[in-house]
Amino acid sequence: MSDFNDEDNQIDNVLAFTKRFDSNADIRAQLNVIKTKPPETVHCMHKGLYVNEHERIVKCQRCGKVIDPFDWLLGQARKEFNIDFELRGLRQEIKDHREGLEKLKREEVNTRARIKTATFKLHDIQMKLHALDKGDSGG
Ligand SMILES: [Zn+2]
């Protein structure tokens, strides 16, 4: 019969106790819904998650925050879209570098051919000079 009275007494005791520290504690005690302060944690990326099948909630393993599954999935989808975008860019970069390499290889082949031709021409000129030197010394 006195369960409710005991509870009321306990609440009154708690109120009397909290009033010692907060003069507005009685106002707060009359509220039906009280928003709790967010826990003071360092910025967490919520990388590891617990999936609680019984409570049907998803929680961060590190900070314990309850994660909205839709928000988490949306974040994953955005990350994957960004990865897809980056991969496309990297593939294009690889393609451009390969084309540049092929162009350099063609230039190298052409340059070697020009050096070879120039070497032959130089050799011919040296032979002609040598022949001229022999002709001068002989006559
Ligand atoms: Zn977290």
Question: In the block, which residue shows the tokens 């021409």?
Answer: 121
What is the rounded CA–CA span in Å between residue 92 and residue 82? 15
Ligand 1 centroid to residue 46 C-alpha, Å: 4
**Tens of pLDDT, residues 34-69:** 787 776 767 888 889 999 999 999 999 998 899 999
What pLDDT is recorded for position 52?
95
Ligand 1 centroid to residue 40 C-alpha, Å: 12
What is the rounded CA–CA span in Å between residue 61 and residue 49? 5
Ligand 1 centroid to residue 55 C-alpha, Å: 18
Ligand 1 centroid to residue 64 C-alpha, Å: 6
Helix/strand/coil (H/E/C) assignment for every residue in 48-73: CEEEECCCCEEEECCCCCEECHHHHH
Phi/psi at 60 (5° precision):
-75, 135
Ligand 1 centroid to residue 31 C-alpha, Å: 30
What is the rounded CA–CA span in Å between residue 107 and residue 124? 26
CB 39 within 8 A of CB 50: no
Ligand 1 centroid to residue 75 C-alpha, Å: 14
| pTM for the structure as a whole | 0.46
Ligand 1 centroid to residue 87 C-alpha, Å: 28
What residue ranges of the chain have pLDDT lower than 70? 1-5, 14-19, 39, 41, 136-139
What pLDDT is recorded for position 137?
60
Ligand 1 centroid to residue 33 C-alpha, Å: 26
> How many residues make up the chain in this entry?
139
